Amino acid sequence: MDLGKFVMQVLFFCFCMLVQLNSCYCSKKESSILLTLKAQHISSMSIPKAPNRVAFHHNVSLTVSLTVGSPPQQVTMVLDTGSELSWLHCNRTPNTLSLFNPQLSTSYSPVPCSSPTCRTRTRDFTVPVSCDPKNLCHAILSYADASSVEGNLATDTFAVENSSMPGLVFGSMDSGSSSTPEEDAKTTGLIGMNRGSLSFVSQMGFRQFSYCISGRDSSGVLLFGAANFPWLGPLKYTPLIQMSTPLPYFDRVAYTVQLEGIKVSDTVLPLPKSVFVPDHTGAGQTMVDSGTQFTFLLGPVYTALKNEFVKQTRGVLRLLNEPNFVFQGAMDLCYLVELSRATLPPLPAVALMFQGAEMSVAGEKLLYKVPGATRGTDGIYCFTFGNSDLLGIEAYVIGHHHQQNIWVEFDLAQSRLGWAEVRCDLASQRLGLGH
């Protein structure tokens, strides 16, 4: 299940990343590459590498600016921890404003279907690869929002500032369909960051990466490598779940953790732990996905959370009470809030309880103002947890909205996910990546 491009919506956050390199990719010493992130609203190699700062945007996704090819061509790619293969639009269409032109790159090389890359390293693709009439490795990537892209695998040089990664495998896509063509036209492609062998982070050879997204002043950080900063407190860790046996509904290369419970304020939802455990088909895994904006829970858990949140906010928030108003097709708990109000009233925090750690969702992260939706002098705000069942998704998905102002570390070396609450705008300043 690939949720990377899922949940595209009108609000697009653009994270422009300024790269400041502490060391060369070719260095054998572990070091870091740190990038500045800025968000603004618009419509809608096997050698160990050092940590790197990379630039990325986000529109419900995070995006990165890098160069590809020789001579280099500037591209903008959606950063997606829920996808494996990175890909670029390589054929101009009426909806493609930005593309990569392979004919202008002397380092571009298509991947033949007889190659080991095509035959063995694509095993985790949801749609098996095939051979095109020229005997090139052909791939079709489909996403949960019914969009898809199609083209051939190829290799080329990807570069961040003066550091380059030659021979990186990616998808050279020449066709596709999109449920949000206007938004997709703003980017050149997608950069896959999951645990698959062809993901960007796997091919780069980094065993750790982190990001910190600010919800305050649109700044943030993306770091490849270890985060050894004195101002960053100890991280809370939960193990990444591995599944060796292929199951029909379990994504083996996703960043999967074990959700064990949820509480609202001090009230733990009265649910058995078994509802959070994947079943014999693999349905019910919990994934951390930067390509999804909000958090989605399976039906019974969502209903229990919704009922408890309504109970604890009675007299504090006014329900919209319009059964047909369902934001993004899965978020049906919405409220009326006066447009004149500067801040939301105090709300009970929701804590996601994982093995060994908790992630708190509090304050303004609990409600999202629906753009352009009003009722008289009121705006409409929706609860930022949705119902996976309404989307036909057999999984729990932790989106990036609930990761704001949290330093999130993906530690592949020790197979764990860590986090600590931090002001991400201040983290940018401390790292010399401020405005």
Residues with a catalytic annotation lie at 80, 289
Contacts of 235 (CB under 8 A, 6+ apart): 407, 409, 418, 419, 420
> C-alpha angle with apex 94: 91 to 100, nearest 5 degrees?
30
Instruction: Look at the block and give the residue holding tokens 């489909």.
Output: 142
Q: Which amino acid is at 95?
A: N
- DSSP 8-state secondary structure symbol assigned to residue 365: G
CA distances in angstroms from 77 to 49, 299, 346, listed in the order given: 21, 33, 37
**Class of residue 14 by CB neighbours under 10 A (exposed 0-12, middle 13-18, buried 19+):** buried
Q: Which amino acid is at 302?
A: Y
Instruction: Look at the block and give the residue holding tokens 């703003």.
Output: 186
Identify the CA nearest to 306 among candidates 386, 364, 390, 403.
386
β-pairing verdict for 395-398 and 285-288: parallel
